[in-house]
Amino acid sequence: MSDIIDLTLFTQAFVTLWVIMDPPGTIPVFLALTSTMGSKQRSRAALQAVLVAFGVIVTFALFGQQLLQYMGISLAALQASGGLLLLIVAMQLLTGKFDSGEATAATPGANVALVPLGTPLLAGPGAIVATMVFVQQARSDDGGVPAIVAISVAIVLVHVSLYLAMRFADVLHRVLKDSGVTLITRIAGILLAAIAVQQIADAIVEFVRTA
């Protein structure tokens, strides 16, 4: 088995990405962002969000270091910008001013499944940085094919978990009704604000450390 997949690296990558991307924790935020959608629209949004997140994670896994170096962007700057964007969304959820239907109507082609759900919520700075670290670790240790397979399988399984969590969030929506979803929206806003502030704080610490 070790000739096919590095089980140690797989476990580390899967657990780390699972904790950061937090499939169960996406449910209240997903319900809040898709509260005006029907069942079919919500299912489509779940698939789109996961595909976007998967695409972003894979892109940064393959070209992340080169891209950031070419553009002169530090990981701390990426983390801070993601935190600021999440903070804006959190404030809208807390004040009740976020309406995915109005946002789509006001901006033709806009889709909350892409931003902010797909990125930076799912494929945020934390997940991106963690993936880049594991890829760099595999390269430096010369793990070969087993290391590549381990990271790839971990990424795929975490995204499958994210899709299943959001796909069946509709069941929770039917149980909670609109009033329950409104309550979850406010809770999601608080959680998002905390996540955003933590990301910004971590970015500031990193800026100071590297200054």
pLDDT for 55-88, tens place per residue?
A: 999 999 999 888 888 888 887 787 788 778 778 8
Contacts with 123 (C-beta within 8 Å, 6 or more apart), sequence order: 21, 52, 53, 54, 56, 57
For 165-174, write each residue's pLDDT tens digit.
999 887 876 7
**Alpha carbon distances (Å) from 62 to 70, 92, 133, 135, 167:** 14, 34, 12, 8, 28
Tell me how far the alpha carbon of residue 102 is from its chain's centroid: 23
Q: Other C-beta atoms within 10 Å of 118: how many? A: 22
Q: Which residue has the higher pLDDT, 188 or 42?
A: 42
State the average pLDDT for the chain.
Answer: 82
Contacts with 191 (C-beta within 8 Å, 6 or more apart), sequence order: 25, 28, 29
